[in-house]
Chains A and B, each alone.
Chain A
């Protein structure tokens, strides 16, 4: 029995011999559990980016290997280890979840590879744990809720109830909105997260109503978003407790909410660094082709995943090989590519310095629910943790 297995191992072993003239990108995302709904969008966007690049970064062929984090830090780290050690990739990109990224970072960085986050932006990695080989094509977690906090101040909201899942990013989101929101926080609930996340929020919503707050701020990414919004709607809270959310009302939850006819979500507002309506050439092409190929709007997860591949390709094309890591690092830092969010620069901690917009849920010309930009909340904003990062 053992011998058969070792033969099987030996057989797969030969496939991992690297080809000299290609750039290998490992992409870790969630492909199982309900959160795979996000991972699938990212996978689509990565494939679209490779297609738009004609499969090449300069003269080098692009090869992408996907890894599944199973929505759990431990599994995500294992997937990362495999990409680094067995597939010997040059870049590891992806990461939806902050706790998965925190668990995996050492595996990538200690091996001297580049780590590109296409979503997660835990405060630690923007601050004390920043690294010259770590780059982000998203944001630092706190920024989006900080923008929302300012929107709330402008809207005259005086008291707020907060709900978020109990994991690294959930805590960052809460910290972010509390940093800028000037009114009173009347209640806070952190709920169970992960593959067996809590999805019945009856007890929490009852508390929120009883708190008498002016509004409720939530962060429920992926599949949990639909469940939350439905219960919010069923509880009839839309009138007395307006919903302000980040990473919740998006191109992943909207199609299902529309299908189920939850009109309450139309007009709800959220902050983000990207929107399908942002007016630039790269974005127009990305959104149009994504819709044509996959039959629906891309989410910011997809946009950031698309950008992560474009960023890597721009650096590799400029340097012309994958061996010269110093040159690659410098090329990545320039962010010299057509990002779908428009131009951005990197701060000292390699987190984008970029705009944040207020978006509103609307019906598009074809009757499909999507978002549009209402106003720019921050221009060229840098995150608050950059100062804690020792890099110049």
Chain B
């Protein structure tokens, strides 16, 4: 195993982990504060990517498109909260799961109807097209660095917001005691709508960042939602720190598994069996981790203090 490859794969894992964090952070916010299970969270990731892709062509620049698309995605998130989530807060999780499962079908089919099945390739500005050469063997596409940078910035901003702003204070208070917050005269409905919109924006941002790599496509929500759930369960529902740690952990494990597992398997199986089973086993790794974590700590790595 050569060192340069390990560094590159670690960066790739970091990038995947940060994208996962962007999706999972919104999920854990909504889950932790609103106690609402939102399977359709990934639909906002999908919608964000498509809106941004459309705007990239309309406005002629990917970065401007992202800036415009973020509030639009947040608005859609707010509408989902208002019309689907709010009537269901009093119901049990089962109803949440089913309603948002239905919502996934609606969003995906709408995307298929509006944008067609072929997806949209998103062109990048010239300066993001190239590669950054760290050494002769360490060459990374510049855009991957942008994702890592944007992911870290969003994570930092989120931590700052939750820990040092009035809104963050309300969010933390709302998470631990909903009745108390509304008794203090805070408009809890407004707060919930805002939290949902923030979550949607973060998921949308992840979708926008990934679109130039994988294209905006109608299947993209499916492939990330379950992983995002694994992240927040492993991290502990409602815990931002847990989501961050778990996202990076899972991003790294998934990427490193895909890169090195087949070589490891080849030590004790035939090359073709190793090549066939390695991708499946590396996909399975994250579920194994989740099961092990829950078997040892039934509330995840960082269980919320009050619940």
In the complex, is A directly touching B at CB under 8 Å? Answer: yes
Residues on A facing B (Cβ under 8 Å): 32-37, 39-40, 166, 188-192, 195-200, 202-204, 206-207, 209-210, 223, 226-227, 230-231, 233-236, 252, 256-257, 259-262
> Given A33-B117, A197-B219, A227-B214, list of 19 further CB < 8 A pairs?
A32-B112, A34-B219, A35-B117, A166-B279, A189-B275, A191-B279, A195-B222, A196-B219, A199-B214, A199-B220, A200-B210, A207-B5, A207-B259, A210-B8, A227-B217, A230-B121, A230-B215, A231-B213, A236-B130
Do A260 and B219 contact each other (CB < 8 Å), given the known contacts A190-B276, A200-B210? no
* Interface contact A230-B5, CB-CB below 8 Å: no
A226–B53 CA distance with the chains assembled, in angstroms: 14
* Interface contact B143-A234, CB-CB below 8 Å: yes
A86–B15 CA distance with the chains assembled, in angstroms: 50
Query: How far apart are A199's CB and chain B's nearest CB, in angstroms?
Result: 4
Do A234 and B16 contact each other (CB < 8 Å), given the known contacts A200-B214, A223-B119, A257-B121? no
Option from B123, B218, B275, B283 in Cβ contact (under 8 Å) with A260: B123
Asked if B149 lies at the interface with its beta carbon under 8 angstroms from chain A, I say no
* 15 A-B pairs whose Cβ atoms sit less than 8 Å apart in the complex: A34-B119, A36-B118, A189-B279, A192-B279, A192-B280, A195-B222, A196-B222, A199-B215, A200-B16, A200-B210, A207-B5, A223-B118, A234-B129, A236-B139, A262-B121
Option from A209, A227, A259 in Cβ contact (under 8 Å) with B213: A227
Report the nearest B residue to A235, measured CB to CB. Answer: B141
Binary contact readout B102-140 vs A (1 if CB under 8 angstroms, 0 otherwise)? 000000000010001111111110000111000001010
Binary contact readout B1-29 vs A (1 if CB under 8 angstroms, 0 otherwise)? 01011001100110110000000000000
In chain B between 196 and 214, which residues have their CB closer than 8 angstroms to a CB of chain A? 210, 212-214
> Ordered nearest first, which 10 A-B pairs have the shortest CB separation?
A36-B117, A199-B214, A37-B118, A260-B121, A196-B223, A260-B123, A236-B131, A202-B12, A234-B141, A256-B121
> Using a Cβ–Cβ cut-off of 8 Å, how many residues does chain B contribute to the interface with A?
49
A256–B118 CA distance with the chains assembled, in angstroms: 9
* Interface contact A34-B279, CB-CB below 8 Å: no
A35–B118 CA distance with the chains assembled, in angstroms: 7
* Interface contact B275-A206, CB-CB below 8 Å: no
User: Which residues of the partner chain A approach B215 to less than 8 Å between Cβ atoms?
Assistant: 199, 223, 226-227, 230, 256
Asked if B73 lies at the interface with its beta carbon under 8 angstroms from chain A, I say no
Query: How far apart are B73's CB and chain A's nearest CB, in angstroms?
Result: 21
A151–B220 CA distance with the chains assembled, in angstroms: 35
Query: How far apart are B133's CB and chain A's nearest CB, in angstroms?
Result: 9
User: Which residues of the partner chain A approach B212 to less than 8 Å between Cβ atoms?
Assistant: 230, 234
User: Which residues of the partner chain B approach A259 to less than 8 Å between Cβ atoms?
Assistant: 57, 121, 123
A200–B137 CA distance with the chains assembled, in angstroms: 21
User: Which residues of the partner chain A approach B13 to less than 8 Å between Cβ atoms?
Assistant: 203
Do A203 and B121 contact each other (CB < 8 Å), given the known contacts A37-B116, A196-B222, A230-B213? no
A226–B118 CA distance with the chains assembled, in angstroms: 10
* Interface contact A202-B255, CB-CB below 8 Å: yes
A39–B258 CA distance with the chains assembled, in angstroms: 30
User: Which residues of the partner chain A approach B15 to less than 8 Å between Cβ atoms?
Assistant: 202
A39–B271 CA distance with the chains assembled, in angstroms: 34
Query: How far apart are A235's CB and chain B's nearest CB, in angstroms?
Result: 5
Asked if B144 lies at the interface with its beta carbon under 8 angstroms from chain A, I say yes
User: Which residues of the partner chain A approach B8 to less than 8 Å between Cβ atoms?
Assistant: 206, 210
Do A200 and B117 contact each other (CB < 8 Å), given the known contacts A190-B279, A206-B9, A260-B123? no
Option from B129, B144, B283 in Cβ contact (under 8 Å) with A192: B283
Do A261 and B123 contact each other (CB < 8 Å), given the known contacts A190-B276, A230-B213? yes
User: Which residues of the partner chain B approach A231 to less than 8 Å between Cβ atoms?
Assistant: 141, 213
User: Which residues of the partner chain B approach A230 to less than 8 Å between Cβ atoms?
Assistant: 121, 212-213, 215
A233–B12 CA distance with the chains assembled, in angstroms: 17
A196–B226 CA distance with the chains assembled, in angstroms: 11
Query: How far apart are B91's CB and chain A's nearest CB, in angstroms?
Result: 24
User: Which residues of the partner chain A approach B220 to less than 8 Å between Cβ atoms?
Assistant: 199
User: Which residues of the partner chain B approach A39 to less than 8 Å between Cβ atoms?
Assistant: 117
A234–B12 CA distance with the chains assembled, in angstroms: 14
A166–B112 CA distance with the chains assembled, in angstroms: 25
Do A204 and B217 contact each other (CB < 8 Å), given the known contacts A35-B117, A190-B275? no
A189–B262 CA distance with the chains assembled, in angstroms: 9
A34–B140 CA distance with the chains assembled, in angstroms: 28
User: Which residues of the partner chain B approach A195 to less than 8 Å between Cβ atoms?
Assistant: 219, 222
User: Which residues of the partner chain A approach B9 to less than 8 Å between Cβ atoms?
Assistant: 203, 206
Do A34 and B276 contact each other (CB < 8 Å), given the known contacts A203-B259, A234-B143, A256-B120? no
User: Which residues of the partner chain B approach A233 to less than 8 Å between Cβ atoms?
Assistant: 129
A371–B287 CA distance with the chains assembled, in angstroms: 44
A40–B118 CA distance with the chains assembled, in angstroms: 10
* Interface contact A33-B219, CB-CB below 8 Å: yes
User: Which residues of the partner chain A approach B139 to less than 8 Å between Cβ atoms?
Assistant: 209, 235-236
Report the nearest A residue to B16, measured CB to CB. Answer: A200
* Interface contact B213-A234, CB-CB below 8 Å: yes
Report the nearest A residue to B133, measured CB to CB. Answer: A236
User: Which residues of the partner chain B approach A197 to less than 8 Å between Cβ atoms?
Assistant: 219, 223
